[in-house]
Structure formats: C-alpha cells, structure tokens
Amino acid sequence: MVETLERMGAARSPAVVRAFRTVPRHVFVPDASLERAYSADLAIATRTTADGIPISSSSAPSIMSAMLEPLEVAPGMRVLEVGTGTGYNAAILAELVGPAGHVTTVELDPSLAATARARLAALGAPVDVLTGDGWEGAARTAPYDRVIVTAGVSDLSRAWVEQLRDGGRLVVPLWLGPGLQLPVTFERCGERLDSRNVDWCGFMPLRGEHAGADARSSPANGSSTWRTARTPTPASCATS
C-alpha cells in the first residue's frame, strides 16, 4: 500500500511514509479483507443509512496522505481532527506528532466515537476522542498548531479558525458545487486565512446542525481518479 502511495506521489515526506508503514489499517476496518484494507485508493464504507447510503467511511489512504502532506504535522504539535470515523487518521496523526504532541479528535456519532476510542487505546495511540459536534471544534484543548477536517463542508466554522494558532494550518474539504469537492490548505495569518494548496477529493458530508447544503453528485464520467493540483506556496505568514 505504501509503495503505491509513493508511486502515486500521494505520500512524499519521510514522516508521512513512516506513519503509514507503522499504523495498521486493518485494525480499524476489521470487516474488510486484507486486500481491501490495504488498497491505497479504496475508501471503505463503515456506516450506512437504512436506504444503503454511506454516511461514514475509512477514507482512501491516497486521499488521507494527500491531505496530511500539506498539513505538515511535526513532532510536538497539537492537532485537532474533526470527524473521527474509524480512528485510523487519528492514529496516523498521533504517530506524526509523537509522544511530545497531542491529538484531539471529535466525532458526532457516540457509537463511532466509542469504537474508535477502544481501537486507538488497544494500539496504544494517545488520542483524546471526544463526542460532540465537530463544527464547534474542541476549545478545552485549544489552541492547535494544526486542524484537519475529514468531512465535506460548504463553509468554514469560525471555531476552527479561532482555535488555530497564528501561523497554524487548516485542511478542509470544501464543496464548491455538485461533484466538486476540494481539500484546501489554509494558513492562519492574523485575522485572515491564506490558501497554500488545493487538491481533489471525495469525503462524506459533515453531519449535524451545521451540515449545510448537500452538494454530492457523481462525476459525469463516473471517474474517481485521485489527482492533485497544487498552487504556488508563498512565504509563510509567520515570517513575512
């Protein structure tokens, strides 16, 4: 799986590659075969509605790494994740921040949160799993050096920005229209956000009171090919 991520260019930095090599994905998707669990470009649905519509999944590792790379998580950082899901991404984040860092993840669904909490604890991953509306962030452990949202949204929560340190980074999948979802990397520069990176992705929509409009739609050609379009990175606001 990791070799495929490297060939795709999804995983590039030694830290992200090492994290994916270290954290076992099958632990978080026990009902999937090992072949499916370690497919680099496969999202695995873990919760559906009565009509069979997926509402929670373990994101494809290719999409995860494409968001983690521009997030630029370093040892010792404090990270907030919105949307725990299976807990796999939180475990990767815990590996990236190391023992001196801290990861807080928020999940709306109490049963998903409880399952993720148990699996993370069994792995010895020091992650604080909270049950609540991720739109509100997690003020009690703020401020954060990094914030990552793992659910599609049509707007940014003010809480995510306010709980982010100046110079910190926020990666969020934004719905821009039917079939068009882009994870944008923002850097907080005082009272403004500057974009640093834009990719293509597909995430389950945020649930809860602040879910916003549902802009889901299948691409016209049915393709789900992962690709990246990076914007030039200006000098960091922390040094400008």
Q: Show which residues are catalytic.
A: 59
With tokens 């990246």, the residue in question is 228
- How many CB atoms within 10 Å of residue 22? 12
Helix (H, G, I), strand (E, B) or coil at 130: strand
Query: Rounded to 5 degrees, what are φ and ψ at 2?
Result: -65, -40
Other beta carbons within 10 angstroms of residue 70's beta carbon come to 20
- Edge-to-edge strands, sheet with 127-131: 127-131, 102-107, 78-82, 144-149, 164-177, 180-189, 192-199, 228-229
| Residue closest to 41 by CA, chosen among 15, 92, 2 | 2
The first and second tokens of residue 173, run together, are: 């999948």
Helix or strand holding residue 199 (H, E): strand 192-199
Question: Angle CA(188)–CA(191)–CA(192) in degrees, nearest 5?
Answer: 55
Whole-number Å distance between alpha carbons of 125 and 105 = 12
